[in-house]
A and B are shown apart, each in its own frame.
Chain A
Amino acid sequence: MNILRKKSKANLPFSETVIELFIRLCGISSIIFVFGIFFFVFREGAGFLFSGLNLTEFLTSVEWQPTSLNNKRYGAFALIVGTFSVTALAMCMAVPFGLGAAIFVSEFCSPKLRETFKIVIELLAAIPSVVWGFIGLTLMNQLIIQVFNAPIGLTMLNGSIMLALMSVPIIVSIAEDALKAVPDSYREAAEALGATRWQVIYRVLLPAAKNGLLAAVLLGAARSIGETMAVLMATGHSVNIPSGPLSWIRTLTATIAAELGEVARGDEHYQVLFIIGILLFTITFVVNLIADLVIKGIRQE
């Protein structure tokens, strides 16, 4: 292989070499950017992270008082709980709906309806998150107040409905691709054995497509964890350990977005916000790692 490559390189015309160099640069740059961002975020937060910040308090305390004059507290536990609970609730709604819609589009839909469906789903994916936040702030807020007779509609439920609506298009399009990739011969074979449509789906298609379906769910979850503007606007944005879907919460992302503009560069509060950034980085890294390991495990099996 190496010999082959060297040989072919020697014979390459100049233009090919330039193009190859350019493409190589594009590939490497993505790695450089990821490391660059990580380095920058880490550098901004590192000073306070290693001297001054009480890490145990940061991870376990619910007291988030970064602007207090004489009693500054940096307890991010409520924010962590907020992020995870709103994401979990969103996934509870988005995964059944998303996978169900994907199964419908790939297995039950007529070709014409499928095209319409795909366009609508892509449209849904293109709506900016601030618009979702706006809908949460106005429409969904009123709806929740009326339906649940709640004092205020800006709650975890509101935020997770918005997140679900945002991650459903991702889940649908990736899951549908995965189902479409299952060879038709599997369907034919199962149908010849007298399987009903539903038996074909859950005995043959879902097991055959499980890698892709899992990827769809994880990417949907990653979208939810990272989402900022919609949850900032729709969840009430107040530091609180939620007692139920109608509690208001605050997430890690929304905290950075709301407070970073208000702090003096380099002071403790500023650095803590970057430590939250490091935390978010770690969370997404762990989620991706788990996804990789799970998918690899399935493959080996």
Chain B
Amino acid sequence: MKNKIEISGLEVHYEGKPALNRVSFDVHENEILGIIGPAQSGKTTLLKVINRTLEFVPEASMEGTVKLDGVDISTIGDVYGLRRRIGMVLPLPVGLPLSIYDNVAFAPRAAGLRAKSQLDELVERCLQQAALWDEVKDRLNTLGTKLSGGQQQRLTIARALSHAPEVLCLDEFSIAIDPVTTMRIEEVLKTLKKEMTILLVTNLVQQAKRLADRTAFFLNGDLVEIDTTDVIFSDTPTQQATYDYVNGTFG
């Protein structure tokens, strides 16, 4: 299976405090990789490394390499283009202070798409994929920030899909969403993995179990174990800590 992302020897420090310790693993193309682990284990930092938004954190320092399709991302000159290859859904929904339509059309426009008909079509498709279209189709011009929390989160998912990313990173996307909608989006993710690679950071181990092909377990900045989801959630993962966390004995 082809590797979409190859991470080797990744270390991140915030003002000298380690957030990720010499982490190395690969992400296969068109898989859903579940990333689980308690708070402060480095999951969000990992995503920030991948789309190079860690560069906005002045006190962070990083070592090691991250390759996307075999290319070291730190050597990519067009960082904005790189960020558009990676869709990012943050834990707390942030509707930009623009209309619903403009929220979704933001990234395509930033990339230079102007044609109204193409934008219309794209906005509709993304909102449908994010299971939001039916609720907002009559008020695409109202402010995105006026939507409820769960709707805003789906708006950010539609926004992340709008630039047709190769990698979709979801950082605990379901915190603000009700279970029924969560299930609908999970179904969407299963279809989407045919088109893209998905990194699913989640606090809900059951969500990883439902969706992920493989699962990585992080603890205090260390990658404890990465294996197929079946193995991680079996009675015999390699590490005792993995077993304990997955079965809720700690964390």
Contact = CB atoms under 8 A, between A and B. Distances in A.
B43 interface: no
A262 to B, nearest CB: 55
Interface stretch (B92-100, B175-183, B209-217, B221-229): B92-100
Contacts, number: 63
B53 A186 contact: no
A203 to B, nearest CB: 7
Interface in A114-162: none
B71 interface: no
Contacts of A195: 80, 106-107, 110
A191 B56 contact: yes
Interface residues of A, number: 18
Nearest to A196: B80
A280 B230 CA distance: 79
Interface residues of B, number: 25
Contacts of B160: 193
B202 interface: no
Interface stretch (B81-89, B121-129, B131-139): B81-89
B178 to A, nearest CB: 22
B96 A204 contact: yes
A204 B107 CA distance: 12
Contacts of A199: 110
B154 interface: no
Given A195-B106, A195-B107, A203-B106, A190 B96 contact: yes
A189 B96 contact: yes
A189 B95 CA distance: 9
A192 B51 contact: yes
A207 B92 contact: no
A194 interface: yes
A214 interface: no
Contact of A188 (B56, B82, B110): B56
6 contacts: A183-B94, A193-B110, A194-B81, A194-B111, A196-B80, A207-B98
Ranked nearest first, the 3 interchain pairs of A and B with the lowest CB-CB distance are A194-B84, A194-B83, A192-B88
Interface of A: 183, 185-196, 199, 203-204, 207-208
Given A192-B83, A194-B82, A196-B110, 14 more contacts: A186-B94, A188-B94, A189-B156, A191-B83, A192-B51, A192-B90, A193-B83, A193-B84, A193-B110, A193-B159, A194-B84, A195-B106, A195-B110, A203-B106
